[in-house]
Structures are given as structure tokens and as C-alpha cells.
Chain A
Amino acid sequence: MGDSQYSFSLTTFSPSGKLVQIEHALTAVGSGQTSLGIKAANGVVIATEKKLPSILVDETSVQKIQSLTPNIGVVYSGMGPDFRVLVRKSRKQAEQYHRLYKEPIPVTQLVRETATVMQEFTQSGGVRPFGVSLLVAGFDDKGPQLYQVDPSGSYFSWKASAMGKNVSNAKTFLEKRYTDDMELDDAVHTAILTLKEGFEGQISSKNIEIGIIGTDKKFRVLTPGEIDDYLAEVE
């Protein structure tokens, strides 16, 4: 980022010691569509609302949940265009790791590198922080993992987490329902119920997306048919 005319950081400390641009970025995340993730004993599930601006939008052209590697997936709350940038950079970093070490990148390392990128945009000249929080779900030698990365670049490992509009209700719901020995199937049901909590309108396979990874270590997004089956079970 050699924006020469802007070789000063736009994110600077306020007198009270806060980085105000990051706080504003978090506000942008908080007004985004709800997304959540749950780590089960044998896998991880991530899910999000997929509310499109009009029925004229072709919903098959939009996929909010993306895979970074065959065994790591990611979902976001906040600004879609910023998310695309991070997905692209993370995928490249995962590939570079693989080229160097001839093995798939561990989840923690990919999360750390993505978080580093996000932090750089809070300190470099002439750029603004990313307006997204990410939920990264992966399964490697250390087992199933779920990480949340914020616009500041800080990240934590979570058993279950939520972000976006309905975050407080969703987190309260998850705190009540979460158990350490949950199976992946139960986790998917819980994820759907959590999304349903704050959902405006009728929930269906056309306005939510769910991604799972199990002991097979293959991240995949559920088809609308599979989501319909889960929705029927939940009713």
C-alpha cells in the first residue's frame, strides 16, 4: 500500500486512547446480517442469514460462506466487498504456505495471517479498517476449531459465537443451548434455531446459508435441499 500522498495513518488515537476508526468499523459489523458458528465435538458449523435486496436478485449467484482451503471455511458479518478481499488474500496465503511446507496450513496459522492483514489496514497509510468480522471454521490435526476475527485484527477461539445485528440475543441463546459434547447434527439444529430467533420473516433454504466440516475434514456448504431437510426436522 504505497499511497504516497497518504503516507500517514487514517486510524489514529483519540485523546481517550481509543482507535475510533476501529470502533466505527465494529459498528458497521454490528449492522450487518447475523451470522454464527458452533464448534461440536466432531465438527464445526457456520451459518448466516442471506437476505437479498430484492426478489429480482438471482440468489444462486451469491454465496456468503466461502472456503479458504479444502478443510477451512469462513463466514462474515458486515461489508461484503471487504470480505471478498480478505478471502482472496487468505486463499493466497494458504497456497503459499502449502508451496513452502508441502502440507495444508493449520487453522491457527491461517487465522493469524488473516488477522495480521486486518491489523495492517488499521495502521498503514491511506487505508481504512475492514468493515467485517469473520468466523473461521476448520478441522485439522488439532481437531475442530472456530475462530472469530475482528476489524482490529484481534482473534479468539470460540466454542460458539455470533456476530451482526442480532448478536446479543443470539449469544444468549447459544450460551443456554451449548454443550461440550454436542454432535455436528445437533449443532446444525442449534444453529438454525439461533438464526430463527431474530429472523424477520419466514426462514427458508433460500434465505440462509450453512457450512459444515466434520471428521472427513472437508468443508462444504449445504445445498438448499439439505437445508430444507434440517428445517423440517427443526419444526
Chain B
Amino acid sequence: MSRGSGGGYDRHITIFSPEGRLFQVEYAFKAVKAAGVTSIGVRGKDSVCVVTQKKVPDKLLDHTSVTHLFPITKYLGLLATGMTADARTLVQQARNEAAEFRFRYGYEMPVDVLSKWIADKSQVYTQHAYMRPLGVVAMILGIDEEFGPRLYKCDPAGHFFGHKATSAGLKEQEAINFLEKKMKNDPAFTYEETVQTAISALQSVLQEDFKASEIEVGVVRKENPDFQVLSVEEIDEHLTAISERD
């Protein structure tokens, strides 16, 4: 007998629907897309690069305060796609956790450990009714001592995977299709190729050429494992290189 859906609350809190789905989690994914921004991450042979759109909705806004790219520690970066407020609490908690880890265990928190921690926290929100899932997809990047450059993506459902390249946000699927073609034969990109693949993927998918002030780029490199946000001049160099190449 297929009765109703547990009183119709399956859309309001994270309990199962009759098909075994969690609607609140699915709506959280929609909220990520509703932010209207697309992000891309690419892992190269010895570097990782993440790129996102920088949409400043009002000229009166201080554009330096608009950012989705956050350093978590000196060596770990986090790109948050989706609801900015949710992103900020996630970043705050991640920074706290990474700092405690360093204090407790005496070495830097590795990329996959931080990603797992974020994903496990997201899972709690999908199982406990008192908190809604966060409307954020987080991409974490860093250079792992053992495994080299690492890129992880964590979503509102609590899933996390390591990626060779990935995307999140409005044009996620188009970007992934683009990247699958580029990464098909397991290329080992140099630093320049990594950054240019990420930026050109974004340009291709959104079908527009960017000015350096309209995107944010974050990188980690084996030679310099500090997480760095590229300056406008550095972004310009890469944009020029891409347009000259084409």
C-alpha cells in the first residue's frame, strides 16, 4: 500500500521520500546552481588550479571583499560554489579543524583528511533534522606529501572524491563534458597548461572571454606548495597566453 510521504515532511527536512530519496539534499544541489556561478578545477602533473567567476553585482560594492576562494591553511585552499553565507561558515569550521589538527598531531592536515572531515560534517546535516544541508560544493586543493597534487570535491550529500578535473555550479555538466574530452588520455599538464586548461574551459563553457578582474584563480604547485590566489596581473598573463595560442 503506497501511503503518503510520511506526512508530507519529506520535502521539508531530510527524511526519506517513498522513492528512497532525500529531497532536501537534492534541493541543496539546486541552491548551488541558483547562485549562478560556475567553477572549474584541474589537476596537473605537479600543480592544481581552480577557477571561478567573480560576479560583483553592484558597482558600489568593494570588489576586493567579494571572493569564493579561501585559504584554509598556508597549504590548503578551498573554492566554495553556491551560497556565500553557507560557504563562510564552512570555511570558518574548516580553518578551525585544520588548525586543531596541526596542533594535535604535529603535522599539516592532508587534503584528503580535510575533505573527508567536510564531507562527514555534510553527511550529519543530511541525517539530522535539526540542521539543513549547506548549499555549497567545496573544492579543496593542496600538495600532498605522499601523493603530490590533489583536488577533492565535497558536495551537500556528503560525497567526496578525488578528481583529475571537475566542475561545480550552474554549467557544471557542460564543463565536465569539456574536461572529459581534454583529460581523456590522462595528460600530465605542466603548471601553465593546468591553469590555461582551467581558464579556457570556463571561457568555452560560458561562451565569453574574460577580463582578469572577472575571474578568481587559485593554485598550488609542487615547487611552491603554498596556496596562492593569483593577482590580476598574473591572471592577465595567462589570458593573453590563451588568446595567443588560439
Contact = CB atoms under 8 A, between A and B. Distances in A.
Contact of A84 (B16, B120, B176, B183): B120
B1 interface: yes
Interface stretch (B57-65, B77-85, B156-164, B221-229): B156-164
A27 B20 contact: yes
Contacts of B136: none
B166 A56 contact: yes
A55 B184 contact: yes
Interface residues of A, number: 43
Contacts of A26: 20
Contact of A81 (B1, B119, B130, B166): B119
A5 B16 contact: no
B161 A62 contact: yes
A85 B157 CA distance: 13
Given A24-B20, A30-B20, A57 B162 contact: yes
Interface string B1-19: 1010010010001111111
A202 interface: no
Given A56-B164, A84-B119, A84-B120, A24 B129 contact: no
Contacts, number: 122
Interface stretch (A13-21, A39-47, A140-148, A181-189): A13-21
Interface stretch (A96-104, A121-129, A210-218, A227-235): A121-129
Interface string A44-58: 000000001111111
A182 B3 CA distance: 44
A80 B159 contact: yes
B139 interface: no
Interface string A1-38: 10101100011101010001100111111110000000
Q: Which 7 A-B pairs have the closest CB atoms?
A: A61-B162, A81-B158, A28-B20, A27-B20, A24-B16, A81-B123, A58-B162
Interface of B: 1, 3, 6, 9, 13-22, 43, 112, 116, 119-120, 122-124, 126-130, 152, 157-159, 161-166, 176, 179-180, 183-184
27 contacts: A12-B6, A14-B3, A20-B6, A20-B18, A21-B16, A24-B19, A27-B16, A27-B19, A28-B21, A31-B19, A52-B161, A54-B166, A57-B162, A58-B43, A60-B162, A61-B112, A79-B157, A81-B120, A82-B127, A82-B158, A84-B116, A88-B120, A121-B127, A126-B130, A127-B129, A128-B16, A131-B20
